Amino acid sequence: MRKTVDPTPFIVKGMLSERKIHCWIGEILVRTKGEMDVIDITDEVRRRIEEFEYGLVNVFVEGSTAAITTMEYEEGLVKDLGDALERLAPSDADYKHHLRWNDDNGRSHVRAAMLGPSITVPIRRYQLVLGRWQQIVLVELDTRPRDRRVIVTVMGK
């Protein structure tokens, strides 16, 4: 006898609710000013999840020299993050990437790989589940201004 596979049910508080999961994909376009331009995109993401009561939103930036993370978005911490990245992947270090493409952004790639290109945030009662001082930020790590495309994928109901 062949087994039929049930579609993955959506679970809310341990109960099975609707079997249908809705998916919505959109984007946020951001023009950055170059290295260590950190942009708060929380409100942009919030606007795109408004119709979902429960679920998850994934926020992903295309490209290997930018990152998405969460942080308390304030000037001091933006500077601290830049300083920490400078210690981890210093500007004046020797990067093999420069030899390969005659690029100057070896540190940008390394820093982006460490921070990661995406985050996933839960949605509960039409709201992003974020701490009071937790914003979703795009971190530009390239050595020049870039046009960034941030893909927002919402799944839920």
- Binding region for Zn ion (CB under 5 A): 103, 105
Query: Rounded CA gap, 146 and 66, in Å?
Result: 9
With respect to Zn ion, which residue has the nearer C-beta, 8 or 102?
102
DSSP 44-107: HHHHHHTT-SEEEEEEEE-STTEEEEEE---HHHHHHHHHHHHHHS-TTS--HHHHHH--S-HH
CB of 149 to Zn ion, least distance (A): 18
With respect to Zn ion, which residue has the nearer C-beta, 36 or 128?
36
CB of 71 to Zn ion, least distance (A): 25
With respect to Zn ion, which residue has the nearer C-beta, 28 or 61?
61
Query: Rounded CA gap, 110 and 132, in Å?
Result: 30
CB of 42 to Zn ion, least distance (A): 28
Residue nearest to Zn ion (CB): 103
